[in-house]
Amino acid sequence: MFKSFNVGMQVHPHDIKFEGADTVIDNMQRLGAVTTVYPICNYYEERQPPRNAEFPHNPIRKVYHTRGGLYFDPHLEYYTKSLLKPQRTPDLDLQDFDALSAITDSAKENGMRVLAWILSLTDSILAYRYRKYSMVDIYGKKVSGWLCPSYPEVRRYVLSLIEDIVSSYSVDGIFFDRFRFPEWAGYGKGFDPAFTCFCKECSKRAKRDGIDLSKTRKAMKRIADSVKENRIPQIISKFHNYRKGSLDLAKIFVDLPELGEWINHRQDIITDFVSEAYKSIKDINPKLEFSLDLWPPSYSWLLGQNYQKLRKYCDSLKFFSYHKLGGGEDVKAMFQELKNLNPNLEISSLLNLFYRFFGFSGPNDLDGLGEKGLTVDFVLEETLKALDETKEEARVYPGVQIWDVTPQEVKEAVRKCFEGHVDGIIAFCYGWARLENIKAFGDVIREFK
């Protein structure tokens, strides 16, 4: 079905519209040695690149901010059983442009595979229109932009979306993204969304599974309150001064069984959601590839994504091993948010603790972390964890960062992936990367292939 080494690249609809699908495919194939294109079908406004960043090779627009919604023409007959209806993008430049059709036609003409990239729970237009199905945080507030998969109505819509795409377009499968619980709101919006979900459907499921969610909620609220009430310095001090061992960290889960129960509860919700999507696509055509876009193994289990559970319900998976962005700029922003809550917070101590808990290495100051990120070993270490947790039940495609880095850094990251004997590599992403970086990616692929 897809036994050869997979070389993928993700792409946005504005790249396809303004550069032209043929140009995008030519650059991917000629420079990047790409064999599979991953076009986004619905979106939200990303934090990266920064709002003042320019696209390096887009001839029409040097800056573009998406507003979400669908970037293809939905076929309404597939949504008759869904209360949630597909919402086309309000972006004026893209309203009448079917990006999925354009890129699929060009890719097929050039012998490339296409996996349609869909965001399952965070389509901003859909989430705004159907707020009643939102996730709910520990304080009872709806989480903006996030739909909860515990609602049958949400799952039914996602299954309809999958059926529409694979039945209406010549795609080779689905690339399933944003199926998790939030990490934090980001950039001045606080940490409350990280403590989800306590909606009525999640509560109903918990009761069915014998979980006392009110007890769990009290335990989670104590943790959430420790962040809001600036008790982080005391926690850091404790782990630096006398809670120094790995078993000290493990003891938290022994002393707080509600925490482990809550983590497993969230993982089961996500696994059930993914299993439904997997069954749906296989019922339509068992030859279609169902691929997952995951957080790296070190973090994913905290957000509901358990590789050992999910490996049964996918053909392949990608995780982002972006040592400069995911390991640098995003972590810097999180720590800056904590410092905003407590200006006296000693960042170097917090970073040291973070590195110790996760086994990472990197600079001990925020500016250094934002500029350099984690060391490139992060790429290999996360790849080895992913391979270990999938046990060859699913093909593993590490995701590498090809923007906001030098061509040499791209090459180093790709080589680290190959040290893990992976089944493929996916580059993120086409529009933000300089052409020389796409070529650097392709050069290393050709070395190893």
Residues pairing with 117 in the sheet: 40, 175
In this prediction, residues 421-432 reach a mean pLDDT of 96
Closest to 376 measured CA to CA, from 418, 429, 343, 340: 418
* Tens of pLDDT, residues 199-256: 999 999 999 999 888 888 888 888 888 877 778 888 888 988 899 888 998 898 898 8
* Tens of pLDDT, residues 67-110: 889 999 999 999 999 999 999 999 999 999 999 999 999 999 99
The pLDDT score that the predictor gives to residue 219 is 86
Burial classification of residue 126, based on how many CB atoms lie within 10 Å of its CB (0-12 exposed, 13-18 middle, 19 or more buried): buried
- Give residue 340's pLDDT band: very low, low, confident or very high (50, 70, 90): confident
User: Using CA atoms, how far apart are residues 228 and 191, in angstroms rounded to an integer?
Assistant: 8
Percent of the chain at pLDDT > 70 equals 96
* Tens of pLDDT, residues 172-184: 999 999 999 998 7
Residue 274 tokens, joined: 């993914």
E strands of 125-278, at which residues? 134-136, 142-147, 173-177
Query: Residue with structure tokens 């876009």?
Result: 293
Please indicate whether residue 36 or residue 219 has the higher confidence score (pLDDT).
36
User: Using CA atoms, how far apart are residues 430 and 70, in angstroms rounded to an integer?
Assistant: 19
What angle, 0 to 180 degrees and rounded to 10, lies between the N-to-C axes of helices 200-208 and 213-228? Answer: 130
Burial classification of residue 3, based on how many CB atoms lie within 10 Å of its CB (0-12 exposed, 13-18 middle, 19 or more buried): exposed
* Tens of pLDDT, residues 358-405: 999 999 888 888 888 999 999 999 999 999 999 999 999 999 999 989
Residue 321 tokens, joined: 């091993």
Contact, 178 vs 161, CB < 8 A? no
The pLDDT score that the predictor gives to residue 230 is 76
Mapping DSSP to helix (H, G, I), strand (E, B) and coil, where does residue 173 land? strand
The pLDDT score that the predictor gives to residue 47 is 54
The pLDDT score that the predictor gives to residue 2 is 56
Q: Which helix (H) or strand (E) holds 340?
A: helix 330-341
pLDDT exceeds 70 at position 188: no
Least confident range from 47-51, 145-149, 163-167: namely 47-51
Percent helix, strand, coil in the chain (nearest 5)? 50, 15, 35
pLDDT exceeds 80 at position 52: no
User: Using CA atoms, how far apart are residues 283 and 288, in angstroms rounded to an integer?
Assistant: 10
Determine phi and psi for 359, rounding to 5 degrees: 75, 20
What b/e readout covers 316-346, taking b as 16+ CB neighbours within 10 angstroms?
bbbbbbbbbbbbbbbbbbbbebbbeeeeebe
* Tens of pLDDT, residues 262-297: 999 999 999 999 999 999 999 999 999 999 999 999
Contact, 182 vs 135, CB < 8 A? yes
Please indicate whether residue 301 or residue 252 has the higher confidence score (pLDDT).
301
Please enumerate, as own/partner, the contacts of 330-339 that have beta carbons within 8 Å and a separation of 24 or more: 330/47, 331/369, 331/374, 332/366, 332/369, 332/370, 333/47, 333/186, 333/187, 334/184, 335/366, 335/369, 336/366, 337/184, 337/186, 337/187, 337/188, 337/190, 337/191, 338/227, 338/232
The residue type of 175 is: F
Give the single-character DSSP code of 92.
Answer: T
Supply the mean pLDDT for the chain: 92
The pLDDT score that the predictor gives to residue 50 is 59
- Give residue 187's pLDDT band: very low, low, confident or very high (50, 70, 90): low
The pLDDT score that the predictor gives to residue 146 is 95
What distances in angstroms separate CA 208 from CA 203, 237, 420, one per listed residue? 9, 40, 41
Residue 366 tokens, joined: 């925020």
Least confident range from 138-152, 217-231, 312-326, 414-428: namely 217-231
pLDDT exceeds 70 at position 332: yes
* Tens of pLDDT, residues 105-146: 999 999 999 999 999 999 889 999 999 999 999 999 999 999
